[in-house]
Chain A
Amino acid sequence: MKVLVSVKRVIDPYVKVRVKSDGSGVETANVKMAMNPFCEIAMEQAVRMKEAGVVSEIVAVSVGTTQSQETLRTAMAMGADRGILVEADADVQPLAVAKVMKAIVEKESPRLVIMGKQAIDDDSNQSGQMLAALLGWAQVAFASKIEINGDNADCTREIDGGLEKIAAKLPAVVTADLRLNEPRYVTLPNIMKAKKKPLETIKPDALGVDVAPRLTTLKVEEPAKRGAGVKVADVAELVAKLKNEAKVL
């Protein structure tokens, strides 16, 4: 079974983001970048399924700027067999990503697409569900367990009240939540090997997809800061403050 995994290049999750002074966006120049953590989990899942003999080939896809090649190399160091970069400007919105992914799915014919549930930059949480919709496929969003049984993907997904079990008909799109697995660290020999794996670059035009943004960002600003807090000496003082000053107890 062939699996497609999407990977996005984002600002490293441990970097404190700074809003640009002109309000046009956040500062990305000279900022450490990394693979979106949920994409790492999606990638790890595909690799584990390959190691278990369920998956025969893993194709990693990234939609983004030329620098996204690095992210694809990381995916290949984790275990993807090859990479496809759909080269576009920075602001490719989820609907456009889903359309690009649909075009790649039609070219590659995978039985399963695994994506991260959310990118930690724009926090949209849309692309996977949108891709499933455009393909008319079943979707499993926020998966914490995936098991392939014949023509079904038996999945557990995280919902607000706990967990839910669904059997999705293949082909399907699954989006990875935090508890699906713990991604591996890439090793130096695997990084070296990844350099030799094939990486194809395509433009959205060649796929017949219009990636022009639909949403216009009017401004980006910093949220209001909270005032400084106080430290209390003991529990009695804390309770007194909460009761009398904050009036929340």
Chain B
Amino acid sequence: MSVLLIAEHDGKQLKPGTANAIAAAGAMGDDLTVLVVGHQCGEAAQAAAKVAGVKKVLHCDAPHYAGSAAENLAALIVPLADKYTHVVAPATGFGKNFMPRVAALLDVQQISDISAVQSPDTFVRPIYAGNALATVQSKDKIKVVTVRATGFDPAGEAASAAPVETLAPVPDAGLSKFNGQELTKSARPELTAARVIVSGGRGMGNAENFKILEALADKLGAAVGASRAAVDSGFVPNDYQVGQTGKIVAPDLYVAVGISGAIQHLAGMKDSKVIVAINKDPEAPIFAIAN
């Protein structure tokens, strides 16, 4: 079994989720190659080489990989895939975007968002917003898999660094033009990596009241999350959203303030270790899963 894993990074470091995906890949096969593709991402390639379980790093650098356009990533990965039994990426906004493109070009039915590996061809994945767990087996020659970070503990540091090889880029497909990103700036930890999350819902009432949560989060060294209702009401930006189709989190402590607990929200946080719910409605469904 040989696994190709596509790392998510910011040019310098691997993003949270990638180390978890590396751990999951280890359960599929022990010959693990990590691809670090981007623009000016040499440091990230070095960082990937130092993760336990990684046998080799492929580093591919070109300006047209800056925005991680799915068209260009797929064109790079598909010709490589023949040499591997598994192609793996984290099930984040990054992985969800290009992996189905890779799978379709390989004529493979992707297995999305796995939470456990039972054998190299059998995986467990949540369906219906996590209200059911399906065990699925793939008959495809190459398994294309995205990994839910909360299902796996992150891989640790390796004793010695794996070799880094340079991979030649594939020319720009020219199908789309990257016009920049508006990233939410915050000194707080990333939602998917935070140990503590303070999350607010519609019950917060307005964006002003959300600042109270932000102050609390800063005291606790926590990240700030939100329910869909809070994002739709414009209290906070979209990247705060925790839920079925937002971010999936499993911190040590999740404090849900003014969140009633729609199944779509619970899907994103019910694997948290300790859940504290603050709500004025004693019948709110959030209490069914809170500690």
Contact = CB atoms under 8 A, between A and B. Distances in A.
Interface in A200-240: 213-223, 226, 229-231, 238
B182 A142 contact: no
A123 B113 contact: yes
A11 B129 CA distance: 12
A19 B126 CA distance: 12
Interface stretch (A63-71, A72-80, A90-98, A184-192): A90-98
Nearest to B137: A216
Contacts of A98: 104
A122 B134 CA distance: 9
A98 to B, nearest CB: 6
Contacts of B289: 226, 229
Contacts of B138: 214-215
B86 to A, nearest CB: 15
A140 interface: yes
A227 to B, nearest CB: 8
A29 interface: no
B132 A139 contact: no
Contact of B274 (A169, A216, A220, A246): A246
B127 A218 contact: no
A220 B109 contact: no
B136 interface: yes
A121 B112 CA distance: 13
A117 B245 CA distance: 9
B84 interface: no
A130 B100 CA distance: 5
Interface stretch (A1-9, A52-60, A106-114, A154-162): A154-162
Interface string B254-285: 00000000011000001001111100000000
Contact of A139 (B71, B93, B122, B273): B71
Contacts of B176: 138-140, 166-169, 172
B133 A220 contact: yes
A89 interface: no
Nearest to B17: A160
Nearest to A230: B291
Q: In the complex, which of the residues B93, B195, B270 has the most CB atoms of chain A within 10 Å of its own CB atom?
A: B93
Contact of B101 (A132, A165, A249): A132
Interface in B25-75: 67, 69-71, 74
Contacts of B98: 129
Interface residues of A, number: 73
B171 interface: no
Interface string A11-34: 101001101000000100000000
Nearest to B94: A160
Interface residues of B, number: 80
Given A26-B132, A162-B182, A95 B109 contact: yes
Contacts of A141: 70, 96-97
Given A129-B101, A163-B181, A246 B253 contact: yes
A218 B137 contact: yes
A158 B178 CA distance: 14
Contacts of B97: 129, 141-142
B179 interface: yes
B82 to A, nearest CB: 17
B290 interface: yes
A103 to B, nearest CB: 14
B232 interface: yes
A123 B71 contact: no
Interface stretch (B154-162, B198-206, B207-215, B236-244): B236-244
Given A17-B132, A118-B245, A238-B276, 12 more contacts: A93-B109, A98-B104, A120-B264, A123-B126, A125-B245, A141-B70, A141-B96, A144-B238, A167-B179, A226-B275, A242-B276, A248-B252
23 contacts: A117-B245, A125-B113, A126-B112, A130-B101, A137-B175, A138-B176, A139-B70, A160-B93, A162-B181, A162-B238, A165-B179, A165-B180, A165-B182, A178-B245, A214-B139, A218-B122, A220-B132, A220-B133, A223-B133, A226-B291, A229-B290, A242-B276, A248-B253
Interface of A: 11, 13, 16-17, 19, 26, 38, 93-95, 98, 117-118, 120-134, 137-142, 144, 152, 154, 158-169, 172, 177-179, 213-223, 226, 229-231, 238, 242, 246, 248-249
Interface of B: 67, 69-71, 74, 92-94, 96-105, 107-113, 122, 125-140, 174-184, 192, 195-196, 220, 228, 231-232, 237-239, 244-245, 247, 252-253, 263-264, 270, 273-277, 287, 289-291
- Pairs of residues from A and B, 9 with the lowest C-beta to C-beta distance, nearest first: A214-B109, A129-B100, A130-B104, A138-B175, A126-B100, A165-B179, A133-B104, A248-B253, A160-B93
